[in-house]
Amino acid sequence: MSRQVVTVFGGSGFVGRHLVHKLAATGAEIRVAVRDVEAAMFLKPAGNVGQIVPWQTDVTRPDQVATAVAGADVVINLIGILYERGARTFQRMHVDVAGAIAKAAADAGAKRFLHMSALGADPASPAAYGRTKAAGEAAVKAAFPEATIFRPSVIFGPEDNFFNLFAGLMRFTPAMPVIGAPALPKISWGEGGLKVDLFGDGGCKFQPVFVGDVAAAMMRAIDDPAAKGACYELGGPRVYSFKQVMELILAATERKRLLVPAPLGVAALKAMFLQLLPKPLLTPDQVKLLGVDNVVSGSQPGLEALGISPTAAEAVLPTYLNRFRTPAHQGAHAV
């Protein structure tokens, strides 16, 4: 990518920090449009002096959005929320803000617009998250028809809020839920005697994708003419059930925990209380989302279309989940 001016909304977040590092390596001038400038200062050392500029932007104010994209060749929107709080609703952040940023980019003459959506984006989704992600894509396309859309499955990496969350919980609880397990066990009689299946298919399916692959995909798309107007579904090389995800984390942290079935109805009831935490562990809307598998459909291009070979979760998780091992296990792996 030749030297360009790139504005990244949400650039100090999980995916953003990886993308900003890759952009800086190309020599691009980068504006990191964020609410909290001080919280984004850690990105500046990723580039040369003055190359990366945290840009104070209230995305609900059109004048500040217009200033952030003025003169930009490429505009990237990574803004998204997992739960609603006050004025930060799904409708406002996923739809209204996304459409406004895309319109500002078009008005400013930006050549490329990249938008982060999610695999759960679907107008018919049972969850407000999924419905507003789909509506956000439509708003972006209406304002910037050649925008490139990315729909990742669960993204993993050192700063993720999925594998780290469950690994952290495993330090304090003797049991972990398998959300989406059947409400009633399946009992059968076979050659080996009575068999009781508590987990069925293991709950919701995921296709975790490495954050480095997501950032690389966005970089490739900037210069690929075929990416204009395209929608990419980003998933890793393997599909895991919720139960297998728990087992993967237990293996990486070398812990032993009891796995217990948590049917969606039970999970929804617990979510009524967990959503009240300052940073909710689970919300009713997220439970609805867990009722639908989070895997690529195969109807849209993926990482391979951008020349990227997906990274396996097993190859990366131990490199950052090892901090959740017990002190004895940590010592056993010390050099």
57-103 tens-digit pLDDT: 999 999 999 999 999 999 999 999 999 999 999 999 999 999 999 99
Buried b / exposed e over 114-142, threshold 16 CB at 10 Å, is: bbbbbbbbeeebbbbbbbbbbbbbebbbe
Judged by average pLDDT, the poorest of 3-17, 149-163, 175-189, 246-260 is: 175-189
pLDDT, tens digit, 9 for 90 and up, residues 34-61: 999 999 999 999 999 999 999 999 999 9
C-alpha span between 210 and 271 (Å, rounded): 28
Strands of the sheet containing 148-152, edge to edge, are: 52-56, 29-34, 5-9, 74-77, 112-116, 148-152, 231-234
Residue 185's pLDDT band (cuts 50, 70, 90): confident
Q: What is the pLDDT of residue 330?
A: 56
Checking if the pLDDT of 333 tops 80, the result is no
- The arithmetic mean of pLDDT across residues 206-220, rounded, is 98
C-alpha span between 209 and 212 (Å, rounded): 9
DSSP class per residue in 170-183: TTT-SEEEEET--S
**Token pair 């507003």 in the structure block, residue:** 132
Q: What is the pLDDT of residue 208?
A: 98
Is 14 within 8 Å of 155 (Cβ atoms)?
A: yes
Which segments of the chain are extended strands (E)? 5-9, 29-34, 52-56, 74-77, 112-116, 148-152, 155-156, 175-179, 186-190, 193-197, 205-206, 209-210, 231-234, 240-241, 258-262
Residue 323 main-chain phi, psi, to 5 deg:
-70, -15
- The chain-wide mean pLDDT, for the chain, equals 94
What lies within 8 Å, CB to CB, of 258 at 6+ separation is 174, 175, 176
What's the sign of the alpha-carbon dihedral 267, 206, 209, 221? Answer: negative
| CATH dotted code for 5-152 | 3.40.50.720
Q: What is the pLDDT of residue 181?
A: 94
Judged by average pLDDT, the poorest of 30-34, 204-208, 306-310, 328-332 is: 328-332
Q: What is the pLDDT of residue 195?
A: 84
C-alpha span between 257 and 175 (Å, rounded): 5
**304: which DSSP letter?**
G
Helix (H, G, I), strand (E, B) or coil at 326: coil
224 closest CA partner among 305, 108, 310: 305
- The arithmetic mean of pLDDT across residues 243-248, rounded, is 97
Checking if the pLDDT of 190 tops 80, the result is no
Checking if the pLDDT of 334 tops 70, the result is no
Residue 190 main-chain phi, psi, to 5 deg:
-130, -165
- The arithmetic mean of pLDDT across residues 1-18, rounded, is 90
Helix (H, G, I), strand (E, B) or coil at 54: strand
